[in-house]
A and B are shown apart, each in its own frame.
Chain A
Amino acid sequence: GESVGLHLPTLSVQEGDNSIINCAYSNSASDYFIWYKQESGKGPQFIIDIRSNMDKRQGQRVTVLLNKTVKHLSLQIAATQPGDSAVYFCAERPDQNFVFGPGTRLSVLP
């Protein structure tokens, strides 16, 4: 039957704990990957990126890991805060275009 809408995976995390959001990408030709954060009522906001010649990149409180063997990308958020509550998207670039995943909703519990 027809789905009524995207059912976003939800990750609930206690404030102060670390969060890990996962993403499986589809195209082995993708050479560039980005994580975006989208808060309610706003546009997707760049968090961190990684190129295919790397397997790890760190930012402020965030780390992106890339496993090209299994086409897997993850975003780690250290010491999760209430302001981290949002939908997180991964994006891959197989050509001149970017392809976005469906997103994961992160809910931070007090």
Chain B
Amino acid sequence: DAGVIQSPRHEVTEMGQEVTLRCKPISGHNSLFWYRQTMMRGLELLIYFNNNVPIDDSGMPEDRFSAKMPNASFSTLKIQPSEPRDSAVYFCADATSGNTIYFGEGSWLTVV
């Protein structure tokens, strides 16, 4: 199993541009999480899905952020418009019910 796959691994974009981060979870894992990691705040949960349904999006910073999970094998996190303060590492992670969560290698976003 290839694990959780994220793309792009690195992105540099200009302020105001739309950013789309992608995640392919491990097959059969029914929970999916999006985290953001910064030096200021550490690892923060943005949103998580269970069986493709968003369960808790209270961590999503504001309306500029949106996440979707159209099917069990794909999720996106979109930022529109992006701002410099969105610069961070964004991790997708997944789990089976009641069990360990596994992280992808992250998408390193820089907004200039």
Interface residues of A (CB under 8 A from B): 3-6, 32, 34, 36, 42-46, 49, 89, 91, 96-100, 102-103
Contact among B41, B48, B55, B103 for A44, CB-based, below 8 A: B103
B71 adjacent to chain A (CB < 8 Å) = no
Question: Interface residues of B: mostly helix, strand, loop or mixed?
Answer: strand
Residue total for B at the interface (Cβ-Cβ under 8 A) = 23
Known: A43-B4, A96-B56, A100-B43. 13 other contacts (CB 8 A): A6-B41, A34-B100, A34-B101, A43-B91, A43-B93, A43-B106, A44-B43, A44-B91, A44-B103, A46-B100, A96-B31, A97-B48, A103-B43
Q: How close is B19's CB to chain A, nearest CB, in angstroms?
A: 19
Give B14-60 interface residues, CB cut-off 8 Å to A: 31, 33, 39-43, 45, 48, 50, 55-56
The answer to whether A43 and B103 touch (CB under 8 A), given A6-B42, A96-B48, A102-B42, is: yes
Q: How close is B24's CB to chain A, nearest CB, in angstroms?
A: 14
Question: Interface residues of A: mostly helix, strand, loop or mixed?
Answer: loop
Residues of B within 8 A of A89 (CB): 43
